[in-house]
Amino acid sequence: MASVEWRSIPTVLYPQEILDKAFSRASGQADLVEDPDKYHRVRKQMNRMVQSACDVATKTLNSYVNRWPSLNALTEFDRALVDAAVGCDDYKKNLSALQWAAERSQRISGEAQAKILRLRDIDGFHKARRHAYGRLSSVIDQISPQIMWLGESRDILRKLPSLDPLEPCIVVAGSPNVGKSALIGALSSGEPQVASYPFTTKQLHLGHFTHRRRVYQMVDTPGLLDRPMAERNQIEMQAIAALENTGDIVLFLIDRSGESTTPINEQESLLSEVRGLIPGREVLVVGSKSDILDGIPETDEYRISSVTGDGLEEIRSKLIEIIAADEISDPLTLPDHWPREDSG
């Protein structure tokens, strides 16, 4: 499965903007009709206006349905992110509402055109067109809450990271303020956004480094708190999604310096929970902020400082070794996603 480009999700027009677009386009179509006989000219105009307005509404709604990623085509990680961010059930329900409205719009067009063909007076043509416009407006108004939901959700989904499932991935986890964003900033070419409410990282962010032409992705999860799953907020659930559904390895940071807002016993309890969430995946525990640990016993096998750079290259090498993405079982076989030239 290819990675999802969340930023490519199209802008969603407001309900009234959809109607204005449809009726404006329809008025332009009426001006294109030429017929010296007024009776036939008006009938053609009203017929074309109804068809044009409904076509614009249908195409606009269907463009949202078709250009928003299908949940069935997403990786487990991306589906989990969608569920944590906006809810998969709401996602499907609201897109389905737009699909229903698009189908309804086409039915209105067909029924109105058939009615216009049966009528025999100019006033009746105008009334049939106005009636069709009213029905179309009613349909758009009926799905107005769903359209507004999609517009708001687009702003949320566009902030989600896009991961390439074919490249190695490292999930960086830990309690708030233990140095996750600083580590990724020091190791990779990415620049994770750092903000101090309610966690140091507001959303999941993605950095990477390259080794032997292979990109190693690093997912910066929001700080998790040592509390029951039911009490966790939406941002924490995004971090859980990252832990459970992606990554070749989890790099868990522990801050023993005393600067962390989470006591060390709660950090260690969280570490136990993380291991329970992903029993089949290796967890590399790393002590952070080694530059301010004077007098504090070093109990972790690996220690790093994103400020001084101490231990960073050792950790990078260890991650590459554990993931073993460069190992080739068959030297004559390239990975499935590598580009090939057709010799035939």
Q: How far is CA 28 from CA 4, 22, 53, 113, 327, in A?
A: 38, 10, 10, 18, 63
CATH number at residue 291: 3.40.50.300
33 and 138 both lie in a single domain: yes
**In 3-state terms, what secondary structure has residue 226?**
coil
Q: How many domains does the chain have?
A: 2
Q: How far is CA 235 from CA 200, 218, 250, in A?
A: 11, 18, 18
| Cα–Cα distance measured from residue 229 to residue 88, given in angstroms and rounded to the nearest whole number | 18
21 and 137 both lie in a single domain: yes
**Number of Cβ atoms within 10 Å of the Cβ of 330:** 6
In-domain check, residue 338:
no
Q: What's residue 200's pLDDT?
A: 40
Q: Please measure the distance between the N-terminal and C-terminal CA atoms of the chain and give it in whole angstroms.
A: 27
31 and 58 both lie in a single domain: yes
152 and 173 both lie in a single domain: no
pLDDT tens track of the chain, all 344 residues? 567 788 888 899 999 999 999 999 999 988 888 888 889 888 889 999 999 999 999 999 999 999 999 999 888 888 888 887 888 999 999 999 999 999 999 999 999 999 999 998 999 999 999 999 999 999 999 999 999 999 999 988 887 777 888 889 898 888 888 888 888 888 887 565 443 333 344 566 778 888 888 889 888 777 666 666 677 777 777 677 777 778 889 999 998 877 777 888 888 988 888 888 888 888 999 988 776 655 555 566 788 888 888 888 898 999 999 988 776 656 666 555 555 555 54
| Cα–Cα distance measured from residue 15 to residue 149, given in angstroms and rounded to the nearest whole number | 11
151 and 231 both lie in a single domain: no
Q: What's residue 12's pLDDT?
A: 94
Domain that holds residue 302: 169-323
Q: What's residue 344's pLDDT?
A: 47
Within 13 Å, how many C-alpha atoms sit on residue 97's CB side?
17
Within 13 Å, how many C-alpha atoms sit on residue 265's CB side?
0
231 and 308 both lie in a single domain: yes
The answer for residues whose C-beta is within 8 angstroms of residue 27's C-beta and 6 or more apart is: 49
The answer to whether the beta carbons of residues 207 and 253 sit under 8 Å apart is no
- Dihedral, 122, 126, 131, 133 alpha carbons, nearest 10: 150
253 and 129 both lie in a single domain: no
| Cα–Cα distance measured from residue 201 to residue 205, given in angstroms and rounded to the nearest whole number | 8
N residues, the chain: 344
Q: What's residue 256's pLDDT?
A: 84
**Number of Cβ atoms within 10 Å of the Cβ of 127:** 15
| Cα–Cα distance measured from residue 190 to residue 201, given in angstroms and rounded to the nearest whole number | 14
In-domain check, residue 195:
yes
The answer to whether the beta carbons of residues 237 and 227 sit under 8 Å apart is no
